[in-house]
Amino acid sequence: MTKAVDHSLDAMVRSLREHFDRAKKMGLTLTAQLLNMALIELKTEIHGISPDDIEALCRRIEERDAPRVLPETAQVIPFPGRTRRRRRSRI
């Protein structure tokens, strides 16, 4: 990108950041989320990050944060042979 475009994008980022902060302080949650999405889009454009890069990053994070499922295993403990006790006869 040219320096003029980079400068213009930087100015947009600064402006959106101010609006984002203001919306958040005012409790405008959805507006803040939408402004944040616009900020992310501009920053990816500035830094040349492709949609494929974003998808790869998201997959990596999901894999890292996914719970590890271990196969169920149990330790086998040998018990000594069981013998029946003889009942004493009552006389």
Domain ranges of the chain: 3-62
The pLDDT score that the predictor gives to residue 76 is 76
SS (H, E, C) 51-70: HHHHHHHHHHHHHHHCCCCC
pLDDT (tens digit per residue) in 59-82:
999 988 877 776 677 777 787 776
Whether the pTM exceeds 0.95: the reply is no
5-45 pLDDT, tens per residue? 788 889 999 999 999 999 999 999 999 999 999 999 999 98
CA distance linking residue 4 with residue 23, whole number of Å:
29
Neighbouring CB atoms inside 10 A of 88's CB total 6
pLDDT at position 72 is 72
pLDDT for 1:
61
